[in-house]
Chain A
Amino acid sequence: METLEAILAEHPFFAGLKREYLALVVGCAANVRFECDQFLFRDGQEADQFYIIRHGRIALEVFIPGSGPLAVDTYTDGEILGWSWLLPPYHWQYDARATQAVRAIALDGKCLRGKCEEDNGLGYELLKRFAHLMERRLHATRLQLLDVYGTRR
């Protein structure tokens, strides 16, 4: 069976990370599973984790009063879910629901924040990686906002 360290070391998100930093990250990691339709987190809850999805699909949903929940993004194998743990006030701003059974690695955000404060080098490395993720998501979201596919109803 693959260890968490081996799995994280192979993940592109951690490519190039020093071994000692990777060891600190592994110390905050745990395997988790979610059943289909189970929520990983809910809007407004404390954001104390992020997830590396190993298998399955998760929908990021926003609740529209009078209309109900709407999926605005999905995450699947190999992708990273969640950065609210990184920035105050550390609260989730969406619901994340498993739309298939999910296997993931959960990383404890509180634990990682503490280690980043102790070692700013680790903090900088993680921040660079999350900034790249955010940039890609922002780019995709802008394209999504343009509603380019067809005529409006």
Chain B
Amino acid sequence: MVPVAESAVVGPRPADPMRPLRYRVEQVRRETHDTFSLRMSPVDGWSIGSFAPGQFNMLYAFGTGEAAISISADPGNPARLWHTIRRAGIVTHALGRLQRGDMLGVRGPFGSAWPVAAAVRHDVLLIAGGIGLAPLRPALYHILAARKEYRNVSLLYGARTPDDILFRRELGEWRARLDLHVGVTVDHAPTSWRGDVGVVTTLIPRAPFDPANTMALTCGPELMMRFAAEELADCGVPRERIYLSMERNMKCAVGFCGHCQYGPTFICKDGPVFRYDHIHHLLVTREI
């Protein structure tokens, strides 16, 4: 753990990964009808330290339980720790009732990261569906902070309807950039919507990228990621340069409990970010 007085942002992982640190909610932001973001800061002199894009924390709603939530913050500014959460179960509903000043527990950061260093000098495709934009946002922050290191960068995002689009203000800012291709599509929309309609995979052929020199990071519902990865592979992107962020029921987050076993791996410690060539056979295996 890192004493906040010395450094609030950089330091090793907490010595006891099972011990939550107390954090206070500093800001609550409503993103959509079922999704919200929490900004939080440590209160006991210790923080989780720095994190890598794609990692997650265990957020503890006191008296209710823990949920694994990807960090949606800028890894270059870890003191402003954001998590974006969709209300889906008991814990996330409890987190959704938190207000500014309320306390919660935080363990982490855990898990593997997006390969932002290996993506240098490559075209980069970030393909997100629904809440999957949140775990990819730190990778995009990182890439945009070092934009010259990368070639064409594209963010392709699919949501259910226009009202379900996350990070609308930022999407607008990203769209205004001349060094970033942004495609947004929804499953269906009223006629007032002027953007694309259709699944996110339909945006792939429209993006500027050289398949042989592309790194693709995808996050969203598993089925969407599978079809996106297949589309990318069909386009010629090497399987070893396609990455997926997997999700299962995580409890301990350190590979002890086995709740998130995924074939021969544990998503909490071997993932959540996996290479497609390592797991593509598991995506079509039912008995895991």
* Chain A residues packing against B (C-beta within 8 Å): 57, 59-61, 68-74, 76-78, 97, 99-100, 139-140, 143-144, 146-151, 153
Contacts and interface: CB of A to CB of B under 8 A. Distances in A.
B193 A71 contact: yes
Contacts of B196: 57, 74, 76
A45 to B, nearest CB: 19
Contacts of B188: 70-72, 144
Given A144-B188, A149-B160, 13 more contacts: A60-B197, A61-B191, A72-B188, A74-B195, A99-B194, A143-B199, A143-B223, A146-B223, A149-B221, A149-B224, A150-B131, A151-B34, A151-B88
> A-B pairs with the 6 shortest C-beta distances?
A149-B130, A148-B221, A149-B160, A74-B197, A71-B197, A74-B196
Given A77-B206, A100-B194, A140-B202, A148 B131 contact: no
Contacts of A57: 194, 196
Contacts of A78: 206
Interface in B140-190: 158-160, 164, 185, 187-190
A143 B201 contact: yes
A140 B197 contact: no
B129 interface: yes
A140 B199 contact: yes
A61 B145 CA distance: 40
Contacts of B227: 139, 143
B220 interface: yes
Given A71-B189, A77-B206, A150 B164 contact: yes
A76 B185 CA distance: 12
B93 to A, nearest CB: 11
Interface residues of B, number: 34
A143 B200 CA distance: 10
Interface in B6-46: 33-35
A77 to B, nearest CB: 7
Given A70-B190, A71-B190, A74-B185, A150 B199 contact: no
Nearest to B196: A74
A143 B231 CA distance: 13
A78 B33 CA distance: 35
B198 interface: yes
B72 to A, nearest CB: 16
Nearest to A37: B191
8 contacts: A69-B190, A69-B191, A70-B188, A70-B191, A72-B197, A74-B195, A76-B206, A149-B187
A153 B33 contact: yes
Which of B88, B187, B201, B223 has the most chain A CB within a 10 Å cutoff? B187
Nearest to B33: A153
A68 B190 contact: yes
B86 interface: yes
Contact of B191 (A68, A100, A148, A150): A68
Contacts of A70: 188-191
B86 A151 contact: yes
Nearest to A61: B191
A100 B199 CA distance: 20
Nearest to A69: B191
Interface in B224-275: 224, 227
Contacts of B131: 149-150
B131 to A, nearest CB: 7
Nearest to A77: B206
